[in-house]
Structure 1
Amino acid sequence: MDFSQRLQKVAANPDALTQLGRGLEREALRITPNGKLSGEPHPAALGSALTNKWVTTDFAEPLLEFITPVSQDVDHLLSQLSDIHQFTYSKLGDEKLWPMSMPCVVGDQDEITLAQYGSSNSGRMKTLYREGLKRRYGSIMQVISGVHFNFSFPDTFWDGLFGEQSEQARQDAVSDAYFGLIRNYYRFGWLIPYLFGASPALCGSFLENTESKLDFEKIGCGTYFLPNATALRLSDLGYTNHEQSSLKIGFNGLEQYLDGLRKAIRTPSTEFAKIGVKVDGEYRQLNDNVLQIENELYAPIRPKRVAQNGEKPSEALSRGGVEYIEVRSLDVNPFSPIGITADQVRFLDMFLTWAVLSPSAPMDDAELECWRDNWNRVVLDGRNPELMLKIGCNGERLSVQDWGTRVFTELAEVAEAMDAAAGNEVYQETLARLQKWIEQPAFTLSAQLLDAIREQNGIGSVGERLAAGHAEDLNRRQYQFYSAEVFEQEAAASVERQLQIENGDELSFDAFLDAYFADIK
């Protein structure tokens, strides 16, 4: 069956296209009134960063992360994320949230305080993992922000696509379908940084901590940019693990992926061994393998399953197959107070649905490198009207505009089916707006941001102005999904949960780590 035939099969049941599962994770740096990175600890009024289900931290104390539950309604999803932002702002005092992916003015990396999660073994392990990241890649790289989009199809979608199956056959078929989606994401996902990349420029203080050989141009006293760049966050300037390049983790199925992941967490790294693991009684990293833990794997998209208590991500996948996918290649949208818009979510709905229904042949390492090269071209030069992308590894090339238009032709079928299922035209309207961005790169987020940076003579002034505007918008809005009381209750309850975890520890930290890594020693 081709793409259109598969789409017709699933669209026969409207629930298959209206009950998509979506969750958002948005990262944002806290900044001081003068635009510098905050040196203050995680606000106590937000509760425990270890156990609060909505507000936590990522790499560092000033790097907040906002997490929504799974939602089947786009407006509810964005209302939830907005409410979480609103409550957070009510506890920030005179601090604001930096509205971009690439960090603001940063000094010495040792001034960036690693995220702290209390005295429990699990909390100490989370901080030690970050100590390892700091020593391996540097803290500056780790405070780059992004938006992660978690996405799943309902059972009715798979019923329409596969018909009746046994439980194991369904689990295997769903996992295979998600890996087909992942392969198509590598083939065509460069559309996401092209449309929504929002890091064409960066602060000179960030560049000082890299060894970049890119030919940057300069604006004002400290902003560097590439004229046609879309998402420098996804380039080699961002968080990548060069040690991982030799692992060749494949995406042709669950077992191949898990085999590669297991190898990564068991393969010693000569480079990371130089750091040491425990030196003079102090831990420097969890271990000296290529990956300390599975979360260290750098990838623009990941297969996921909700883990049970004490279960590692790979163990969850092995137990129950792929449950959802995590899209990790979204820059923070600087023009949105919450870092993402409804048009972006709806485009991802359409694109991921198209990717899972389109043919997706197995992919060898050579082909995967071809697609990664396309991504890199778009990231560094995506708005160049003369840019040509590879079509496979046979030497044939196509322009971003021509190839994007081809994809949008089939996305139009998805939009029509989704709108027919819901009884409106919102997906077709979204696609029509974004079609103009394909035809005219000046409409893309990276172009809009670079225009603003040129007009205001630097990234700092743009960021501070946007941050102030977002703060004003969030401070004057009304809660739409949750309430201040609900957030206060969760903050207080999260502190109690952290205390229970700390009081429940029976092992020493050394014994805890030994038990956690027993299967890889």
Structure 2
Amino acid sequence: MTSPLTPRLAQLAASGLLPQLAHIRRGIEKEALRVTAGGVLAKTAHPPALGAALTHPYITTDYSESLLEFITPAGEQVDETLGFLEKLHRYTASQLDGEYLWPASMPCALQGNDSIPIAEYGSSRLGRMKHVYRRGLDVRYGRIMQSIAGIHYNFSLPDSFWQGYRRLLGSQDSLVEFRSAQYFALIRNFRRYGWLLLYLFGASPALSQSFMAGRPHRLAKLGKDTLYLPHATSLRMSGLGYQNDAQATLNISTNSLAEYSRDLDWALNTPHPRYSRIGVEVEGECRQLNDNILQLENEYYSDIRPKRVTRAEETPLQAMAAQGVEYIEVRNLDINPFLPLGIDETQVRLLDTFLLFCLLQDSPSITAEEQQRLRKNQIRVAENGRNVGLLLETTAGEISLLEWSNRLFANLTEIAQLLDKAGQGHVRAVTHFSALLRHPELTPSARMLKQLQGKDYHSAMLMQAARLTEQWRSSPLDSHQYRYHRRLAIDSLTEQARLETV
């Protein structure tokens, strides 16, 4: 399941590379639905005071016009990254007229598929393409699935680390090749052990029954409006939301950048019969960008992705083919409704520790058989993770989640001690979250169900939405920060107008 890390860590400590671990770069992307004071999805357009969703660098929309996405710059200081995310919330809250930011991953009560407005990006070529792509998601998956919100965590190590680590391992690959191969090793181990994050951070054990309207399910009733599973951690990651027959057949390899690119390119260029029947342009209306299994790379739903910043007219695959993987994006994180930002420093420190473990742990190729086993483990933890005695599958047979988690935390403790030589807070984070193994009632998912006792999901989360939004409004930005964010909004509107004249 795991191999001893001590020799590798000793090598790393002796190599002089520890100071480079202080230069981990992180970025956070956090989604939030805009809702009315009555808890209904806002039908208003993206507020002009927030700028243009197409061109604003930090405030945009995801699938829906009502689904905001806050993006922080990548940086080395955790407090600065979280501080920037907080300022985005405070500025946004001050510009919302009678609306709140929904604080959870699973959406408010919905009123059917068509009640969710597709995001608009203006009349430029890029803006129209982004809108048509979302229309394609509607006809393929439905809008209700796209109303789910989450947190994406971007993580990278500096080139100075990769240069020294390449020498340490005696690799003859170029720096670009080595870095890409190591990021894919990290991704494979994330697939193996990422279920642990669902247990620790999952915060969606329940949802409004409107989310499942007209669809079969195995959820139990909890009160008038709420559906749940008693031991679930993350229904968002269970398959209830992101279901699609075409993607269910995809097996995108993470064994190398070449294999990943090959498989993704095939899906991007292979028509799917059902999508072909839908049509691309019908009676002058664009229903989707194309009829291939994937319209764009971003349509591939995955709990973690290799990434690189792209230039104009460059696709993610083209960028990685030219310059390799630049960072990884973790995508299996629920929004924690008990935290003002949905994430905090302790969680960030644990994520850094976990991702470094995934990098340093041996990471053989994933076979098709193992891929099926990993998917089963994810579903088991998402749907039943707090069930005492839950068993997970390994190459050596089944093992209890608790026993395996304790072994992983022994590794994480070693990694955290190493990281704390370059900065503080990682051992504290590991200690904090290790307590959740002995006390599952402390997990966000268990706390969510406790909160729902005597309340339904909709009313409980609406109360939290009102409280947090008013909290941000009561702590306005100082004049300098307000002018900064106001200028960003104005500049983005100007840039969108320019694009629409090209």
TM-score for the superposition, normalised by structure 1 = 0.93
Amino acid across the alignment from 1:191: L
Partners of 1:176 and 1:468 lie apart in 2 by 46
Moved more, 130-139 or 331-340: 331-340
Summarize the Cα distance change of 1:370–1:9 in structure 2 as closer, same or farther, 3 Å threshold: same
Deviation at 1:188, TM superposition (A): 0.4
Alpha-carbon contact 2:145-2:242 (below 8 Å) kept:
yes
Which string of whole-angstrom CA distances, capped at 9 and with x for unpartnered residues, describes residues 235-288 of structure 1?
Answer: 221123331232321111000000000000011101111211111111111111
Structure 1 residue 231 corresponds to structure 2 residue 231? no
Aligned partner of 1:78 in structure 2 is 82
**Does structure 2 conserve the Cα–Cα contact (< 8 Å) formed by 1:251 and 1:257?**
yes
The residue correspondences of 1:91-490 to structure 2 (distance < 5 A) are 91-163=95-167, 169-212=174-217, 214=218, 216-392=219-395, 394=396, 396-422=397-423, 424=424, 426-454=425-453, 456-477=454-475, 479=477, 483-490=481-488
SS in 2 for 1:327: strand
Q: 1:490-515, CA deviations, whole angstroms, 9 ceiling, x for partnerless residues?
A: 000001111111111xxxxxxxxxxx
Q: Which amino acid aligns with 1:485?
A: R
Read off the aligned partner of 1:460 and give its amino acid letter: H
The farther-off stretch of 465-474 and 275-284 is 465-474
More deviation in 123-132 or 158-167? 158-167
Q: CA RMSD in A?
A: 1.7
- SS of the aligned residue for 1:247 comes to coil
Instruction: Report Cα offsets for 1:24-69 as digits up to 9, x if no partner.
Output: 0000000101111111111011110000011000001100000000
- Decide whether the 8 Å contact of 2:148 with 2:236 is kept in 1: yes
CA separation of 1:495/1:168 partners in 2, compared to 1, >3 Å: closer, same or farther? Answer: farther
In 2, Cα distance between the equivalents of 1:209 and 1:72? Answer: 46
Q: Which amino acid aligns with 1:181?
A: L
Q: Residues 355-383 of structure 1, C-alpha deviation per residue, up to 9 Å, x if partnerless? A: 00000011111101101110000000000
SS in 1 for 2:31: strand
Residue of structure 2 equivalent to 1:32: 36
Distance 2:393 2:171 in 1: 40
1:49 to 19, 29, 53: 53
| Distance in 2 (alpha carbons) for counterparts of 1:242 and 1:70 | 35
- 2:494 corresponds in structure 1 to 496
In structure 2, the residue matched to 1:515 is none
Pick which of 234-243 and 121-130 moved more: 234-243
Q: 1:397-417 CA distances to partner (integer Å, 9 max, x unpaired)?
A: 111111011000011111111
**Per the alignment, do residues 484 and 209 of structure 1 end up closer, same or farther by CA in structure 2, a change over 3 Å counting?**
farther
Q: In structure 2, do the counterparts of structure 1 residues 38 and 163 end up closer, same or farther at CA, with 3 Å as the change threshold?
A: same
Distance (Å, rounded) in 2 between the aligned partners of 1:480 and 1:398: 53
Task: Give yes or no for contact 2:190–2:358 (8 Å, CA) kept in 1.
Answer: yes
User: Secondary structure in 1 aligned to 2:108?
Assistant: coil
Amino acid at match of 1:293: L
Q: 1:6 to 1:482 in 2, by over 3 A?
A: farther
Amino acid paired to 1:359: D
Separation (CA, whole Å) in 2 of partners of 1:122 and 1:347: 38
Mark the runs of 5 or more structure 1 residues left unpaired by the alignment. Answer: 505-521
Structure 2: distance between partners of 1:85 and 1:73: 19
Partner AA of 1:190 in structure 2? W
Secondary structure at 1:183's aligned position in 2?
helix
Q: Which residue of 1 aligns with 2:64?
A: 60
- Residues 91, 476 of structure 2: 8 Å contact kept: no
Given the two structures, how large is their TM-score scaled by the length of structure 2? 0.96
1:9-32: per-residue Cα shift (whole Å, max 9, x none)? Answer: 444334321110100000000010
Contact 1:185 1:355 (8 Å CA) reproduced = yes
- Matched position secondary structure for 2:420: helix
Partner letter of residue 7 of structure 1? L
Please list the CA deviations of residues 304-349 of structure 1 after superposition, one character each: whole Å capped at 9, or x if unmatched: 1111111001101101111100000001111112111111111110
Structure 2 portions without partners, runs of 5+: none
Is this contact kept in 2: 1:10–1:157, CA < 8 A?
Answer: no
User: 8 Å contact 1:140–1:209 — kept in the other structure?
Assistant: no
Letter in 2 for 1:4: T
What's the CA shift for 1:8? 3.5
SS in 1 for 2:278: coil
Query: Given that residues 140 and 206 in structure 1 are in contact (C-alpha distance below 8 angstroms), is that contact kept between their aligned partners in structure 2?
Result: yes
How many residue pairs get aligned? The number is: 497
Conserved 8 A contact 1:128-1:285: yes
Deviations 1:149-179 (A, max 9, x none): 0100112321332128999611111111111
Amino acid at match of 2:56: N
Task: Confirm or deny: 8 A CA contact 1:305 1:317 kept in the other structure.
Answer: yes
* Alignment partners' CA distance in 2, 1:166 and 1:350: 24
- Contact persistence 2:163–2:175 (CA under 8 A): no
DSSP-derived class of the 2:491 partner: helix
Aligned partner letter, 2:391: M
- CA–CA distance in structure 2, aligned partners of residues 48 and 413 of structure 1: 45
Kept in 1, the 8 Å contact 2:94–2:476? The answer is: no
One-letter amino acid of the structure 2 residue matched with residue 412 of structure 1: T
SS at match of 2:258: helix
CA distance in 1, matches of 2:160, 2:7: 16
